[in-house]
Each structure stands twice: as structure tokens, then as C-alpha cells.
Structure 1
């Protein structure tokens, strides 16, 4: 998928001439600089800032600001950065210490998705 002038995808900002390959994931608050490539099954994580002309290799993870681009076998390094980005707080307004965090997160996510239950293709 080639994205044109400063498109917004799921709360992310994607610059001009960015290539998002099949299976790539771009999380909320991410900013991808112009002429970057996010290759097959690669991830640009929550609140990550990817500079212009960057490449996230197949199945690798970009995380943080500035982005560190790490291979998927570096879970501990990815988590060390990712934890501070506060996914539950940033996306759902939930504190990570909430006793039933996953229940609350899942319920909020389901309510959000339910708003699209009657969506239909246009054109």
C-alpha cells in the first residue's frame, strides 16, 4: 500500500510516499516520515517516530522516539522501550495497575469496534 500526502491511519501520521507492505502494523500515535518503508509483517509501535527515509525490515519492530529498529528476537529490548510508551494509558485511558486491566481494555476495544458494525463499503 502506497500512502499519499500525509494520510492518517488509526491515529497515526504517515508521510508522503510511504510504503506499508502486507501485514505491516502501525499503532496509534506513530509518525512515519516521508519515503519510509515498513516491510512485510513489520511493526511501527505506539507513539514511535520513524524518520524520513527509514526502513523497517521484514518482521522487525520500530519502537520509541527516536525509533529503534529491532529484530523480533530482541523481545526484552523492545519491551524495555515499549513499556514506557504506556499502551493501556495512551489508547484506552487505563492505568497499567488496574486490577482487571485486560477485562477493561477488552470491553473498551469491543465498544469501539461495535461502532463499525453497520459500516458498508462505499462506491
Structure 2
């Protein structure tokens, strides 16, 4: 289904195929020959999303933009089943395997291969032709690609990237961090109450 959000509806090239159970919401542009499969959700939460030519978004994938982090996905890129992209820029000919997670402000350059359940973290830049192995974490700038067993190193790098500050504008040391985060984010998400289905979609 296609929904208008914040007064803007999706624009879908006539050659693109959207499964009837996919949800496309807001300022989303889907280019020629794209395929969006069953259960996929592409939602522009105040920032635009653009899919280039021949992008495939597989079952139950989630693509989300925010006011501070738009999403661009380049030509001939595949977003695997249950993958998640939040506010990131993805280059051409990228493979994001099943269950991958790409976070706000990340940049993945052309022809990268992010394998099953791998993570490209907040504000991380993955150069052209990089590989993130199964279950590993790419983090930082310059990027370090680490196995999940190196949790302490990953956490040290993540703290410098400041997820709550960058994504939600909140200091990690705020005593009631989760109270403020959920209330602020909840108000933002409540704007969906005015969404309208796009006629004829």
C-alpha cells in the first residue's frame, strides 16, 4: 500500500513492481525496474528516500529516513530479507544480505558486500569493494571491521559515535534517557495518525 505522509506521497516509476503487502509511506521515490517484495516497509519519517534503477528490496526489509538522515540507495543494489536501513547512503551494486543492519549517517560505497546479520554502524563509511563478514560489525571512520567477540572494542568506538546524541539529540548521561527518548520519538511517530492511503494505488 502507498501512503501520503506529511502531505507527500510516494512516486513510483511505472516499470517498478510493488507487492500488495509492501508499505511505502511519504517522500519516497522508486526508480525504474525496482522490485519491492511482500512485507517490505519503506517509510520517509520527515526525510526523503530514493531508490535508483533495478533496486531489489526483499521480504520484510525495512528502509527508514528521518528529518536529519535521508536514504539513498544506488542502482542495482539488493536489500535482503529482514535487512534494515536507517538514514544511510548506499552506493551502486551493493549486496546487503539477510538480516543486515545499516544505521543513521552510514555511507556504503559501490560494490560492497555486507553479509548475513552483519552491521554497518552509525556514521560509518565503508569504502568501495569492502566486505563485512557474516555477523561482523563495521564501525567508525576510518572503518574498523570487527567480529562480535570484540564487544568491548566495538562499544568503545560506538560511544564516540554517540548514538543517542546523533539520532535523538539526547545526552547519553541523561538520568531519564529512555523516558525522554521514547516521549520525543513517540511524538514524532504520532504524525502518522494523519497519513492517508494514496488513491488508486
- Asked if the contact 1:6/1:13 (under 8 Å) is kept, the reply is no
1:46 to 112, 122, 131: 122
Structure 1: segments with no counterpart, 5+ residues: none
Q: Does the Cα contact within 8 Å between 1:24 and 1:40 map onto a contact in 2?
A: yes
CA RMSD, 1 decimal: 2.4
Q: Which residue of 2 aligns with 1:29?
A: 105
Bigger proportion of residues as helix: 1
Contact 1:40 1:58 in 2 (8 A): yes
- Which residues of structure 2 form unaligned runs of 5+? 1-55, 58-72, 78-84
- Residue 119 of structure 1 deviates from its aligned partner by 7.2
Partner of 1:5: 75
Once the 2 structures are TM-superposed, how far is the Cα of residue 79 of structure 1 from its aligned partner? 0.7
1:74 deviates by 0.4
1:113 Cα offset (Å): 3.7
Query: How many pairs align?
Result: 122
Choose between structure 1 and 2: higher strand proportion: 2
Quick check: 1:66 aligned with 2:66? no
2:180 is aligned to 104
Is 1:84 aligned to 2:154, yes or no?
no
TM-score by length of 1: 0.86
State the TM-score, normalizing by the size of structure 2: 0.54
Matched residue, 2:131? 55
User: C-alpha deviations, 1:53-105, integer Å up to 9, x for none?
Assistant: 00111110000001100000100000111100000000000011111011212
Secondary structure of 1:53 counterpart: coil
> For 1:57 and 1:114, how far apart are their aligned partners in 2?
37
Q: Secondary structure of the equivalent of 1:62?
A: strand
